């Protein structure tokens, strides 16, 4: 059983990107959280398979995101946790809509 508090950023969880000043086109996108990285941590890009180093601390995320300086790795990015809004698993809009239809 997962003992993590609801609303916390956790590996494998989903989050919405918001508040980016650079790459504003990615605000509102939903990403999957892979791993939390510290500045200088090395990791393998889940897209290209290349070894990379995190420039700053943040979450390695996959989804419809990227960085203009690394187009070969479009689909993953390291994002500051301050720019990630956790999505609760219970927040599935399809289930909410289906429940509203049943109650109508």
pLDDT at position 86, please?
94
Domain edges within the chain: 14-103
Q: pLDDT, tens digit, for every residue of 42-70?
A: 999 888 888 888 888 999 999 998 877 77
H-run or E-run covering 96: helix 93-103
How confident is residue 83, by pLDDT bands cut at 50, 70 and 90? very high
Q: What is the model's pTM?
A: 0.75
CB 58 within 8 A of CB 37: yes
The CA-to-CA distance between both ends of the chain, in Å, stands at 34
Query: Strand 14-17 vs strand 51-53: parallel, antiparallel, or unpaired?
Result: unpaired
Q: pLDDT, tens digit, for every residue of 1-40?
A: 333 434 589 999 999 999 999 888 999 999 999 999 999 9
Who wins on pLDDT, 94 or 80?
80
Task: List the one residue out of 32, 30, 26 whose CA is nearest residue 47.
Answer: 32
């Amino acid at each position: 059983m997962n003992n993590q508090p609801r609303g916390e950023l956790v590996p494998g969880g989903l989050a919405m990107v918001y508040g980016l000043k650079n790459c504003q086109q990615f605000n509102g996108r939903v990403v999957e959280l892979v791993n939390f990285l510290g500045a200088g941590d090395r990791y393998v890009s889940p897209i290209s398979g290349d070894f990379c180093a995190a420039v700053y601390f943040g979450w390695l995320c996959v989804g419809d995101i990227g960085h203009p300086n690394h187009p070969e790795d479009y689909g993953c990015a390291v994002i500051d946790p301050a720019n990630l809004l956790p999505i609760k698993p219970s927040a599935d809009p399809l289930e909410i809509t289906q429940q509203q239809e049943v109650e109508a």
